[in-house]
Amino acid sequence: MKKRFAAGVAAAALASAFGTAQAEPEAGAVRMSQVGFETQGPKTATVEDRASRPLPWRVVDRSGATVAQGSSKVFGQDAASGQAVHTVDFQSLQTDGEGYRLIVGSHESRPFSIQQHPHARLKYDALAYFYQNRAGVPILAAHVARPDLARAAGHPHEAATCFKGADTAGVVWPGCDYTLDVTGGWYDAGDHGKYVVNGGISVWMLLNAYERAMARKGPGADAFADGKASIPEAGNGVNDLLDEARYEIEFLLKMQIPDGVKAQVPVGAQTPGQPLTLTEIDAGGMVHHKVHDAQWTGIPLAPADDPQPRLLYPPSTGATLNLAAVGAQCARIWREIDPAFARQCLTASQRAFRAALRNRDVRAGEHFAGGGAYGDQDFSDEFYWATAELFATTRNPAYLTALKTSPYYLGGPISGRSATGDPGYSWTAALGSLTLATLPDALPADDLVTVRANIVAAAKSYVDAGYGQGYGLPVAGDRYEWGSNGALMSRAVVLGSAFDYTGDWNYRNAVIAALDYVLGRNPLDRSYVTGYGDRPFQNPHHRFWAHQADAAYPLPPAGALSGGPNNQAMIDDVAKTLVGKCAAQTCWADDINAYALNEVAINWNAPLVWVAAFIDDH
**Residues with catalytic roles:** 191, 541, 590, 599
Beta bridge partners of 398: none
Q: Do the Cβ atoms of 485 and 528 come closer than 8 Å?
A: yes
Beta bridge partners of 370: none
**In angstroms, what CA-CA distances link 311 with 138, 159, 185, 291, 404?**
21, 9, 15, 5, 39
Q: Which residues of 40-72 are buried (b: 16+ CB within 10 A; e: fewer)?
A: ebbbbbbbbbeeeeebebbbbbeeeeebbebeb
Phi, psi of 117 (to 5 degrees): -135, 75
Q: What share of the chain is helix, strand, coil (3-state, %, to 5)?
A: 35, 15, 45
- Closest C-alpha to 184, from 153, 212, 215: 153
78: number of Cβ within 10 Å: 20
Q: Which residues of 394-418 are buried (b: 16+ CB within 10 A; e: fewer)?
A: beeeebbebbeebebbbbbbbbeeb
Q: How far apart are CA 257 and CA 183, in angstroms?
A: 15
The answer for residues whose C-beta is within 8 angstroms of residue 377's C-beta and 6 or more apart is 269, 363
Q: How far apart are CA 509 and CA 454, in angstroms?
A: 19
Q: Do the Cβ atoms of 492 and 498 come closer than 8 Å?
A: no
Q: How far apart are CA 464 and CA 474, in angstroms?
A: 7
Phi, psi of 535 (to 5 degrees): -130, 60
Distance of CA 206 to the CA centre of its chain: 10
Q: In what order do the strands lie in the sheet with 73-78?
A: 30-31, 44-48, 83-89, 73-78
Q: Do the Cβ atoms of 23 and 15 come closer than 8 Å?
A: yes
Burial (0-12, 13-18, 19+ Cβ within 10 Å), 325: buried
**In angstroms, what CA-CA distances link 141 with 149, 212, 275, 460?**
7, 32, 49, 45
310-316 and 159-162 beta bridge pairing = parallel
Q: How far apart are CA 55 and CA 476, in angstroms?
A: 26
Q: How far apart are CA 241 and CA 243, in angstroms?
A: 5
